[in-house]
């Protein structure tokens, strides 16, 4: 079965809790705090696997969770980090955040992608020994890991996409120019899933061609089979539009050509404006007059036109050479740029406690706890963020109200700062 779209739930591991422990040793009266930190929660990591060609596995398993970090213990022992969960996906999978639809990653040319980050471990009480608080009895809980729904969308990697009405000979063409063996038969929608073939032009020159199910009018609104499959030619650098010029099914080739282009446009402007080469197929059974009429129309549009008969192997070499020459002037396969922004950590709305002891202030608990734990104090940006949140959430105003003075020491969850206006 060919499955090219799936939605899964992923959950990174929770960070382990920090430990409250005190050093104990014979003949040492009261040892200091020595509770270790919790381990970090495991990440959910996507890794491209060139041996996978469908997203079928995700039909049957939809929930994925990485391991939690272990809690810290005494003697400053940190808890073990949770193991990352590796999920293999086919190369060419585009990963989106389900809630916003934003592209998180294109698994093309990426070695790995962290789709959900594990929670940080909480600090043990050994971090919280300050000159005034020699025996802190508190430690921090680990933070939860990121949890989200993601959609996986397989977009095949092909240089050239074949488009056209059903039964015009797209699969026949692919089978003639490559080693691919798609099903070929004289009825509509013979092809039910995309086929890829490598076309060898000559020494050192080759390209990948994709044959997708026939597109029919209304397909881009979901009426036909083609709709879902257009995404597989989204990345293509060039389209080969195959048209049955013999009109053997009673349709007009010019109308066919227009209808397919309208479909492409409806699906995406970008796809519709991709460079195109037109192949008039079934020339072996078409009248010279019909071929000429269609050829004149295409040339009028300024597009390259090739007369071929895929079944009789006529004109196919010339087409392949033209495709190859054209590709050498075109930009590489489209890789989708991520536009996803990780939402801010939810700090909650519980207000912290503020205690005053002369010119020593202690702030602890509530959203400040979460903020401190999610701040990397070694990083300037992160420190600025910390400062901004403290300010916008009105904490500094509150301290002012309570009468804080310049130069006072403010202990925020065990970290001491000098108060400056």
Ligand X SMILES: Nc1nc2c(ncn2[C@@H]2O[C@H](COP(=O)(O)OP(=O)(O)OP(=O)(O)O)[C@@H](O)[C@H]2O)c(=O)[nH]1
d(CA 23, CA 303): 81
* CB nearer to Mg ion: pick between 13 and 253: 253
Determine, following the binding rule CB under 6 A, whether residue 195 of this chain makes contact with ligand X. Answer: no
Distance CA 13, CA 148 (A): 12
Sign of the four-CA dihedral 245, 246, 250, 252: positive
Residues facing residue 162 across a β-bridge: 211, 240
Among 30, 186, 328, 329, binds ligand X (CB under 6 A): 186
Contact stretch for ligand X (CB under 6 A) within 67-75, 107-115, 131-139, 307-315: 307-315
Instruction: Identify the residue among 114, 129, 180, 184 touching ligand X (CB under 6 A).
Output: 184
Reduced to 3 states, what is the DSSP secondary structure of residue 356?
Answer: strand
DSSP percent split of the chain into helix, strand, coil, nearest 5: 25, 25, 50
Of 97, 67, 90, 93, the residue nearest 80 (C-alpha): 67
Q: Cβ of residue 240: shortest distance to ligand X, in angstroms?
A: 12
DSSP characters for 36-58? PPPPPPPPEEEEEETT----THH
Among the listed ranges 254-262, 304-312, 343-351, 412-420, the one in contact with ligand X (CB under 6 A) is 304-312
Residue 267's alpha-carbon distances to 6, 222, 226, 303, 344, in angstroms, are 20, 10, 11, 21, 34
Task: Kindly tell me which residue out of 188, 205, 385, 398 binds ligand X, with binding defined by CB under 6 A.
Answer: 188
Of 36, 119, 136, 169, which lies in the binding site for ligand X, with binding defined by CB under 6 A?
Answer: 169
Tokens (6 digits) for 275: 């460079």
Among 171, 373, 374, 411, which residue sits at the site for ligand X (rule: CB under 6 A)?
171
How many residues of this chain interact with ligand X, rule: CB under 6 A? 24
End-to-end CA distance of the chain: 65
Q: Which of 93, 178, 191, 362 binds Mg ion (CB under 5 A)?
A: 191
Q: Which is nearer to ligand X, 170 or 393 (CB)?
A: 170
CB 393 within 8 A of CB 351: no
- Residues linked to residue 239 through DSSP beta bridges, in sequence order: 161, 276
Q: How far is the CB of 245 from Mg ion (least distance, A)?
A: 18
Query: Three-state DSSP class for 86?
Result: strand
The Cα–Cα gap between 88 and 3 comes to 15
Residue 193 C-beta: closest distance to Mg ion, Å: 10
State the number of binding residues for Mg ion (CB under 5 A).
3
Q: Rule CB under 5 A: say whether 167 interacts with Mg ion.
A: no
Per-position x/- string for 344-363, each x denoting binding to ligand X as judged by CB under 6 A, each - no binding: --------------------
| Residue bearing tokens 């802190």 | 136
CB of 332 to ligand X, least distance (A): 27
Sign, CA torsion 210/216/219/224: negative
Binding partner at 112 among ligand X, Mg ion, none, C-beta below 5 to 8 Å by kind: none
Binding piece for ligand X, criterion CB under 6 A, among 109-117, 169-177, 197-205, 337-345: 169-177
The encoded tokens of residue 265 equal: 């446009």
Contact window for Mg ion (CB under 5 A) among 71-79, 170-178, 231-239, 361-369: 170-178
279: nearest Cα among 249, 248, 321: 321
**CA 126, CA 135: separation in Å to the nearest integer?**
9
Phi, psi of 159 (to 5 degrees): -75, -40
Q: How far is the CB of 319 from ligand X (least distance, A)?
A: 12
- How far apart are CB 182 and Mg ion at their closest, in Å? 6
Told to check if 175 binds Mg ion by CB under 5 A, we report no
Binding partner at 73 among ligand X, Mg ion, none, C-beta below 5 to 8 Å by kind = none
Does residue 282 belong to the site contacting ligand X (CB under 6 A)? yes
Contacted entry of Mg ion, ligand X, none for residue 325, CB cut-off 5 to 8 Å set by kind: none
Residue 171 touching Mg ion (CB under 5 A): yes
Cβ closest to Mg ion, residue 72 vs residue 213: 213
Which residues make up the interface to ligand X (CB under 6 A)? 166-172, 184-186, 188-191, 213-214, 281-282, 284-285, 309-312
Which residues make up the interface to Mg ion (CB under 5 A)? 171, 190-191
């Amino acid at each position: 079965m060919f499955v090219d779209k799936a939605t899964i739930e992923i959950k990174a591991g929770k960070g382990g809790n920090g430990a409250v422990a005190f050093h104990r040793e014979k003949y040492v009266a009261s040892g200091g705090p020595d509770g270790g930190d919790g381990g970090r929660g495991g990440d959910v990591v996507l890794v491209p696997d060139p041996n996978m060609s469908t997203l079928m596995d995700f039909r049957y398993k939809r929930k994925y969770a990485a391991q939690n970090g272990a809690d810290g213990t005494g003697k400053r022992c940190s808890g073990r980090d949770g193991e990352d969960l590796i999920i293999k996906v086919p190369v060419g999978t585009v990963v989106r955040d389900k809630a916003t639809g934003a592209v998180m990653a294109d698994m093309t040319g990426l070695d790995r992608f962290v789709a959900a980050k594990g929670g940080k471990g909480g600090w043990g009480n050994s971090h919280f020994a300050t000159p005034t608080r020699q025996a802190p009895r508190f430690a921090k809980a680990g933070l939860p890991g990121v949890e989200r729904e993601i959609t996986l969308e397989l977009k095949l990697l092909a240089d050239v996409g074949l488009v056209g009405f059903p039964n015009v000979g797209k699969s026949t063409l692919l089978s003639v120019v490559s080693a691919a063996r798609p099903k070929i038969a004289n009825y509509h929608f013979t092809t039910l899933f995309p086929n890829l073939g490598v076309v060898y032009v000559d020494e050192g020159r080759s390209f990948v061609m994709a044959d997708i199910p026939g597109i029919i009018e209304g397909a881009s609104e979901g009426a036909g089979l083609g709709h879902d499959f257009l995404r597989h030619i989204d990345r293509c650098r060039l389209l080969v539009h195959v048209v049955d010029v013999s009109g053997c099914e009673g349709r007009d080739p010019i109308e066919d050509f227009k209808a397919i282009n309208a479909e492409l446009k409806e699906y995406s402007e970008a796809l519709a404006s991709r460079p195109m080469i037109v192949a008039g197929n079934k020339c072996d059974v078409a009248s010279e007059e019909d071929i000429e009429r269609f050829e004149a129309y295409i040339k009028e549009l300024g597009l390259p036109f090739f007369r071929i008969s895929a079944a009789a192997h006529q004109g196919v070499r010339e087409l392949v050479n033209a495709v190859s020459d054209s590709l050498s002037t075109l930009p590489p396969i489209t890789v989708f740029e991520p536009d996803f922004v990780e939402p801010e950590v939810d700090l909650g709305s519980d207000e912290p406690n503020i205690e005053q002891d002369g010119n020593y202030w202690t702030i602890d608990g509530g959203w400040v706890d979460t903020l401190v734990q999610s701040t990397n104090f070694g990083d300037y940006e992160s420190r600025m963020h910390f400062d901004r949140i403290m300010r916008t959430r009105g904490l500094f105003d509150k301290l002012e109200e309570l009468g804080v003075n310049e130069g006072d020491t403010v202990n925020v969850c065990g970290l001491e700062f000098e108060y400056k206006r």
